Amino acid sequence: MSRALRSVCLLALLLAICTSQAWPCTDVLATSNPWVVSARTMDWRANMLSKIVIRPQGIAREARDCPKGAQPLRWTSQYGSVTTRSFIDASTSDGLNERGLSAATLWLSDSRYAQPAGKPMVTPMQWVQVFLDTCATVQEAVAKAEEFDVGGLQILLFGDVNVHLVLRDATGDSAIMEYLDGKLVVHHPMPIPAATNEPPYAEMLTKVAAYNGLGGDQPMPYGIDPVSRCARASLWAKRLPKAQTPTQAVAYAFDVIQTVCRPPGDRAASIWTAVRDHTNLVFYYRTLNDPQVVSLNLKELDFSSGQPEKVLEMHADQAGDIGP
């Protein structure tokens, strides 16, 4: 059995024990003045075989597993990035590039992707990587998104991979991209600091507007459903005092994202949490069973063309800066 086929079979097996309801992730812009710092959870029901991948400049890529009849998108990485990979080599679920742009996917069951119609295509598994490789700002990414389409991807025994994508940059700008009824929908800028999975973002904005601090008079919600998590993360981010140091800004981001983390024993626990310092270009994370924070300083990494991609264990027993 080939390596590619083994990867697909493993992915199918792992996904088959989960449902779309096992993707209750949250992403939030925690601080934006004077340090832009964001955070996200990765909530899942099983081991995702997560890795950290350091991706250099100058890598030529071609979209994989596109729908029949589609023209695969081809691109070359202009910027280096630190990313997270789950299940298979070609996937990227989150990351920060050397210009301070982050991209992350969250589940969205209502996603309906484009059909082949002339534009080159990628699948949801590589959507994040296109932007990290080629864009420095959210504005650039919004423009880039018009140049290609995202096509559907079906996994054996699981079904469709349905996600939407959150972008943030070093200026504090944010956007969320969704494919609904085959069309790209972009919310730019994002009116509130947070995003979760269900429902589509326009509907989410209507729902969270009921809460005090976001337009309504209802008290802060403490449930684990997506609307409660989105409202709670947004409210806490808005109520944070101004950070006095970059370290404090990062601590604030961990504090805010912790309010929406799901504990061990939950059917979809927060298996890892990432914090992205867009200003100082540091990617932090910690995993479910280890309280130690691990970091990679992008300013100290060699992203020059010709360097190999480096894959690091995400769940290894380690702490602090694990860069060179």
Helix (H, G, I), strand (E, B) or coil at 8: helix
Mean pLDDT of 90-97: 90
pLDDT in tens, 253-279: 999 999 999 888 777 888 899 999 999
The residue whose two tokens read 């976001």 is 214
- Looking at residue 193, its amino acid is P
What distance in Å separates the CA atoms of residue 93 and residue 312, rounded to the nearest whole number? Answer: 15
pLDDT in tens, 202-234: 999 999 999 999 999 999 999 999 999 999 999
For residue 53, give every residue at least 6 positions away whose Cβ sits within 8 Å of its Cβ, in sequence order, or none. Answer: 82, 83, 84, 85, 92, 309, 310, 311, 312
Q: What is the structure's pLDDT at 89?
A: 66
CA distances from 314 to 54, 129, 136, 311 (A): 12, 18, 26, 9
Q: What is the structure's pLDDT at 269?
A: 85
Q: Give the pLDDT band of residue 67 (cuts 50, 70, 90).
A: confident
For residue 58, give every residue at least 6 positions away whose Cβ sits within 8 Å of its Cβ, in sequence order, or none. Answer: 76, 77, 304, 305, 306
Which stretch of 114-118, 119-123, 207-211, 276-280 has the lowest confidence by average pLDDT? 114-118
Top CATH class of 3-321 equals alpha beta
Domain boundaries, the chain: 3-321
Q: What is the structure's pLDDT at 46?
A: 65
pTM: predicted TM-score of the whole model, two decimal places: 0.91
Mean pLDDT, the chain, as a whole number? 89
Decide which of 61 and 8 is more confident: 61
Best CA proximity match to 44, nearest among 82, 9, 6, 84: 84
